[in-house]
Structure 1
Amino acid sequence: MSKTSLLAADRPFDQPCPIRDVLDRIGDQWSLLVLDALEGGTKRFNELMRALGDISKQMLSQTLKRLEEDGFVRRTVYAEVPPKVEYDLTPLGHSFLVPMRGLVAWADEHHRHVCEARALYRTSAP
């Protein structure tokens, strides 16, 4: 076995930093909103489109695929004509709702302060 193979075997994760690995995924523009929309239960693609409003079909599809890949979302396909596909949260996705709610609450509480700091920075920056 080569040295490269040994290193890969010792580190089974794609990204050596778990914080960066997870936050890069869920910190994108749409993932939190999709997870939030699925908190209420199973939804079909068009239901998610309506719930999110201004997301494109391509971006929603890409976001759902990534969330499914990471184990947050489960995609169920029914053998019907036309095909029926539903999305819901996995146990991992449900477990993420707790810290997500804390982050959302913090953002709601402090958004005004962040906006004020940005405005102050813009007026005082060289």
Structure 2
Amino acid sequence: MLPIGVANKAEASNCSIRSVLSNVTGKWRMIIILALEDGPKRFGAIKRCIGDVTQRVLTENLRGLQRDGYLTRTVDPGPPVAVSYELTPLGHELLANLKPLVFWSAEQMNQVKTARMEYDKAHPD
């Protein structure tokens, strides 16, 4: 078994598996990584690609991904000033590992929907 168990908060904060996974498995971060698959994009293009993310949430998640080394932020002084984001080699490696999960998710959606409906029928509250 993978070393995922910890005895206390101090151990949890030092667990490499938890540290990395908690930062890349958030709803928006995985979608941002997928949005950058085809190359650099400006902030507005990423927001349009995703659709339902607020500017604040997108900004926070882009900063987090940049901090962890998954993407770079490039400022072109213009005029006009243009900021773009691009996956780093580490980001491309994450994307390569993420894509099988994305394909699997799409393939399993009908089974998940069926399971949810059955559960909701059995647990009406």
Same fold at TM > 0.5: yes
Amino acid aligned to 1:31: R
| Segment of structure 1 superposing worse, 80-89 or 33-42 | 80-89
The worse-fitting range, judged by mean Cα deviation, of 46-55 and 78-87 is: 78-87
CA distance in 2, matches of 1:113, 1:38: 29
Q: Please say if 1:91 is aligned against 2:58.
A: no
State the alpha-carbon separation in 1 of the partners of residues 116 and 18 from structure 2. Answer: 25
* Residue aligned with 2:27, SS: coil
Q: Distance in 2 between matches of 1:49 and 1:118?
A: 30
SS of the aligned residue for 1:107 comes to helix
Where does the alignment leave 5 or more consecutive residues of structure 2 unmatched? 1-11
CA apart distance, 1:81: 3.5
Count of matched residue pairs: 113
- Aligned equivalent of 1:29: 27
RMSD: 1.7
Deviations along 1:6-28, one digit per CA (max 9) or x if unpaired, are xxxxxxxx932222222212221
Tell me, in whole angstroms, the C-alpha distance in 1 between the residues paired with 2:81 and 2:53: 22
TM-superposed deviation, 1:66? 0.6
CA-CA distance at 1:45 after TM superposition: 0.7
Deviations along 1:59-92, one digit per CA (max 9) or x if unpaired, are 1111100100111010112233432211000000
Pair member with larger Rg: 1
Distance in 2, Cα, partners of 1:109 & 1:31: 21
1:99 aligned counterpart, secondary structure: helix
Query: What is the aligned counterpart of 2:55 among 54, 57, 81?
Result: 57
Distance 1:36 1:59 in 2: 16
Q: Which runs of 5+ in 1 are unaligned?
A: 1-13
Task: Find out whether 1:109 has 2:107 as its counterpart.
Answer: yes
Give, in whole Å, the separation in 2 of the partners of 1:92 and 1:57: 25
